[in-house]
Amino acid sequence: MSFDLSVIPNKNILLAVTGGIAAYKSAILVRRLKDAGFNVRVVMTEGAQAFVTPLTFQALSGYPVHTELLNPEAEAGMGHIELARWADLLLVAPASCDVLAKFACGLANDLLSTLYLATKAPVWVAPAMNQQMWAAKATQRNLNTLIEDGVHVIMPDAGSQACGDVGLGRMPEPEDLAHQVTAYFHQAQREIAEKFGLLAGKHVVITAGPTREAIDPVRYISNHSTGKMGFALAAACYAAGAKVTLIAGPVSLDTPNGVARINVASAQKMLEVSLELLEQGCDIFIATAAVADYRVAKVAEHKIKKSGDELQIALIKNPDIVATIAQQEKRPFMVGFAAETHNVEEYAAGKLVAKKLDMIACNDVSRSDIGFASDENAMTVFFADAYHMSKRDLDKASKQEIAQQLVEAMHDALSKK
C-alpha cells in the first residue's frame, strides 16, 4: 500500500463562517484550501452573511452555500445530516463567541450548531473577536469546555483589530490556516503509511544527482544528471512508510516532504556519507546517482592559467559507491540503476552480478523521450536471487509512476528474501 503524501486525496472540508469582520479572510481561505486539493463546502450563519454574501463563497467553492436548517429546498439537495457525514473536517473560521457558546452548551437551533452535534468529523475552531470579548470569563469557560469535548482550538493572533483595539483576537491568515489543515491530513496519512505502507519500518538511503569533481578552485567535471529519478523515488519510499535519507549531489530540486537530505559534491564525499548512514542502520540502499567514474588526480590549489594549446589533466578512478556498500558486513537490500545507450539489458544484467546487487533498474538513454532530463522514463528491472535472475518490464510513465512501480518491485523482492 502506498500513500501519496504530496497530495491530499479527496478530503472534504466543511468550512463554517460565522459573523465577524474576519469573514472576508475566509473567502481567501476557500481558495487556499482548494489550491491544496481539498473539496470545500461552505456553511454561513446569519451573522456571517452581514459581512460577506453567500454568492462570494459559492463562486469560490463551486458549491451552493448552506445557510438554513429548515429550508426544504436545501434539505432536498444535501441535507444537514448528509452534510455532517460528508465532512472530513468541520472548520469554523472565524468562530464568533456566540458560536463557541452554542457549541459549549450543545444548542441545535440553527444549521451550524446542528451540524456540530451531527458530525463525527474532527472540529476545529478559529476564534476571532474583540480582545475584550476573547478575554471574557464566559468565552474562556466555553473554550475550555470545547477543548475538553475534543475540539481543536486555533489560537487567535495578537495585533491591531478592526475595532481599533490592540490584543488577542485576530484570525490567523488564510495561508496559515490552510497550511495547518494540510499538515494535519499529511500527518494522518503518514501515520497510516508508517503502519501499513509497503516499506513501513524501513530506512531507505538514496544517492541522487551528479557528482562534481574539482579540477581547481573554480572548475569541475560533472554530468547532466538532474536527480529527478532519485528525488521521485525518495518521495515514493516516504509515501510507502519508509524513513528516507537522500544523499544529493548538486541539483536544483526541492527536497520531498518528510525526506532527510544531505548535500554532497564529490563521489568520495558521497561514499563517506553512505558508509556513515550504513553504520546508523539502513535496510535499502538505492543508487540513482550518476557518479563520475574518474576524478582529477591532483586538484590544483590555484586557478589553472591558460597557457599552451593543449592541457593534460590526469584522472584517477573514483570508488564505486554501490559496489562498496554491497560488500559491507551490514549489507542492506541493494538497488542499482543503469543508463545505457546500447545493449541495454545485457550490460545492466552484467552490472547486477558484478556489483553484487539485489535489483537493477535499467533504461535506454539513447532514446530522447526518456531518461536524464526527461520527466518520463521506461525501465526494465532485473532481480537477483541465489539461483536465478528474473526480469520485470515497467511501462513508459512519469518518473513518479515509475518510482511507485519500483517501490512495489522492491517490496516484492524483499518479501521473497
Taking CB under 6 A as the rule, which mask of x and - marks residues 318-347 in contact with ligand C5P?
A: x-xxx-------------xxx---------
Q: How far is the CB of 378 from ligand C5P (least distance, A)?
A: 17
Nearer to ligand C5P, 320 or 364 (CB): 320
Taking CB under 6 A as the rule, which mask of x and - marks residues 221-260 in contact with ligand C5P?
A: ----------------------------------------
Which position has the grid cell 589533466? 313
Of 339, 337, 340, residue with least CA distance to 382: 337
| Catalytic annotation, pick one of 97, 163, 237, 282 | 163
**Dihedral angle over CA of 108, 111, 112, 113, nearest 10:** 0
Other CB atoms closer than 10 Å to residue 45's CB: what's the count? 23
Of 11, 29, 313, 27, residue with least CA distance to 174: 29
Q: Is 163 a catalytic residue?
A: yes
- Element (H or E) spanning 234, and its range? helix 228-239
- Element (H or E) spanning 384, and its range? strand 376-384
Which one of the spans 219-227, 285-293, 299-307, 363-371 is the region binding ligand C5P (CB under 6 A)? 285-293
CA 384, CA 388: separation in Å to the nearest integer? 6
Q: Does residue 267 touch ligand C5P according to CB under 6 A? A: yes
Contacting residue, 289, 384, 406, 409, with ligand C5P by CB under 6 A: 289
Nearer to ligand C5P, 88 or 320 (CB): 320
CA 349, CA 389: separation in Å to the nearest integer? 8
Q: Give burial (CB, 10 Å; 0-12/13-18/19+) of 260.
A: middle
Nearer to ligand C5P, 13 or 394 (CB): 394
Nearer to ligand C5P, 24 or 294 (CB): 294
Contacting residue, 242, 287, 370, 402, with ligand C5P by CB under 6 A: 287
Q: Which residues are catalytic?
A: 163
What residues make contact with ligand C5P under the rule CB under 6 A? Answer: 207, 267, 287-289, 291, 318, 320-322, 336-338, 351
